[in-house]
Amino acid sequence: MTNPRVVPKAPSGGGLWASRIKPRLAMAWRIFPVKPAGLVILGGATLLLVYFGLMQQDLILLMTSLVVAVVAILDIFLVCLGAVLTHYWWNEASSGFPAEISALLVNAPGRLHLLKPPPWLPLVEVNWRWLAPQGVKVRWSKDPEGAFEEFVFHQRCLVNGIEREFEICDVLGFASIRLRRRQGLTLQVLPVPLPLNRRTFVTAFHGGDDVSDPRGEAVGDRVDMRQYAAGDPPKLLLWKLYARTGRLMVRQPERAIAPTPRTCAYLVAGPLDETCAALMRTILESGLLGSGWRFGADGNQGHCDRVEEALTFLARSGNVAQSGKPQPALRAFLQQAARDGYTGCMVALPSLPGKWLEEVRASARVAGIEVSFVTSPGGLVSGARPRPMPAWWKRISPMLLSTPPELRVGEPEEVLNQLAGVGKERWMYLPAQEGFVRYGGRARV
């Protein structure tokens, strides 16, 4: 199959300034060694040296400004030397990095071993952070096996590469140089499976008949027996057994085996969806969707029917959630599932409402398939729930405060309230109870 020709996109807004000039100026500022504080110190020392020291013949100010200037210049030199050493050190250290790492779990530390620790110079510090992917906590340390870089992901994602920024600075705050380096690395960060009571899941999402099958065929033969009770029809009495034992027993029909319809599942990626992603992993790995299942998630093309591929779908959907621009593709998934004979779909939702709910409401009206919505208190696995914030505070708090994703609290009740009247049922997963509770009764009869 021939790949379609890719047409390069024209530079978006800003033209030459945004595409070429601005990035080059930013790079020049990163590698310019003198900080604003250093410029002030050097400028003041030069003024004192020239005007008061040389022109006014003030020996005290002359010596003072000379010492300050020498210290500042020495710091700048050491920082420049440290940047050169860091460049060569990282080229050597990164040569031993693997191209792929086995899958990690959210909040579980991963390691990349370094051939040797970062270079050391007096009055100079070398630190670095990850620019992409974002939200990763990074530090380096040592153990008996040598130096290593340790990193912790707080959200699931699919990593295809890492961009690091190294900062080489002096302890006095006079100089600093920032270097950026890219590394090719393939890594899946998966959600941690959540405990789930299998019985409650089957009762909630799989239909079945508790009454006996009256046909007497292979799906409901009378293969068991029990003691006679008032009201049992005489034709079910086992007279031969009564003649031998003197006990009245009746034939007991087995429970009906109702065929379970083909079920699919979909994960809508968005803010605070980690708990639902972890729930979906538990359901998929436990085989609770039954045979012939299908799974889809935002950020992925098409669907999958194997657990290994489904885990990749889950990881890739985390990239959409981190981008902050959810784009639900639920409608196309449900339309294709309905054409392929699926009668029900379980849709897992983020626990923070947003504009994506409008698309979900419209998608749930696809004909030929019934949708059940599931959400969970994202970011709050245990403990008492805080009081809800007023609407005005919700609007201004993101502009004033920056809350880490793992500490944010979702609003699952508001999400399900906005889906009232669409779909088949609405459910909420409670981690403390390891099961589901129905929310607001049936959404539609």
Per-residue pLDDT reduced to its tens digit, 173-198: 889 999 999 999 999 999 999 888 87
Task: Report whether 307 contacts 285 (CB < 8 A).
Answer: yes
> Looking at residues 247-265, what average pLDDT do you find?
70
Residue 244 predicted with pLDDT over 70: yes
Q: How confident is the model at residue 408 (pLDDT cuts 50, 70, 90)?
A: low
Describe the crossing of helices 330-339 and 356-363 by its angle, rounded to 10 degrees. 10
For residue 378, the model assigns a pLDDT of 64
CA 169/CA 178 separation, integer angstroms: 9
Least confident of 99-103, 256-260, 340-344: 256-260
Does the pLDDT at position 215 exceed 90? no
Helix (H, G, I), strand (E, B) or coil at 430: strand
**Euclidean distance between CA atoms 36 and 257, whole angstroms:** 77
pLDDT mean across residues, the chain: 81
pLDDT band at 204 (very low <50, low <70, confident <90, very high): low
**Minimal CA–CA distance to 265: which of 251, 276, 274, 254?**
276
* Strand, coil or helix: 146: strand
Q: SS3 helix, strand, coil % of the chain, rounded to 5?
A: 35, 25, 40
Please give the share of the chain, as a percent, with pLDDT higher than 90.
36
Question: Has residue 350 got a pLDDT over 50?
Answer: yes
The pLDDT of residue 298 is 94
* pLDDT at position 212: 46
Q: In this structure, how many other beta carbons lie within 10 angstroms of the beta carbon of residue 396?
A: 9
Structure tokens at 154: 């707080």
> Residue 379: is its pLDDT beyond 80?
no
Distances (CA, A) of 3 to 6, 7, 8: 9, 12, 15
Nearest one of 319, 313, 327, 423 to 366, comparing CA atoms: 423
Query: Is residue 216 scored above 50 in pLDDT?
Result: no
d(CA 406, CA 380): 9
pLDDT digits (tens, 9 = 90+) for 138-157: 998 888 888 899 999 999 99
C-beta atoms surrounding 4 within 10 Å: 6
Residue 399 has pLDDT above 80, yes or no: no
pLDDT at 177: 94
What is the predicted pLDDT for the residue at 389?
A: 59
Confidence of residue 106 (pLDDT cuts 50, 70, 90): very high
Give pLDDT, residue 308.
95
What is the pLDDT at residue 5? 40
Contacts of 323 (CB under 8 A, 6+ apart): none
Q: Report the Cα 117 to chain-centroid distance in Å.
A: 31
Question: Is 295 in a helix, a strand, or coil?
Answer: strand
State how far the Cα of 4 lies from the Cα of 420, in Å rounded to an integer: 43
| β-bridge pairing 294-297 and 263-267 | parallel
User: What tokens appear for 233 in the block?
Assistant: 């029809």
Angle 420-425-427 from CA coordinates, rounded to 5°: 95
β-sheet bridge partners, residue 190: 105
Q: Residue 422 has which token pair?
A: 């669409």
Query: What pLDDT was estimated at residue 360?
Result: 92
The Cα 378–Cα 349 span in angstroms is: 10
Helix (H) or strand (E) run with residue 371 in it: strand 370-375
Q: Residues 261-281: pLDDT tens digits? A: 688 999 999 888 999 999 999
Question: What confidence tier does 260 reach under pLDDT thresholds 50, 70, 90?
Answer: low
Say if residue 18's pLDDT is above 90: no
SS3 82: helix
pTM, to two decimals = 0.74
DSSP 8-state secondary structure symbol assigned to residue 220: S
> How is the chain split into domains, by residue range?
24-190, 198-206+261-442, 214-259
pLDDT, residue 391, reads 63
Q: What is the pLDDT of residue 388?
A: 56
Predicted confidence at residue 234, as pLDDT, reads 81
Most confident of 44-48, 65-69, 217-221, 416-420: 416-420
Per-residue pLDDT at 401 exceeds 80: no
Q: What are phi and psi of 270, to 5 degrees?
A: 180, -170
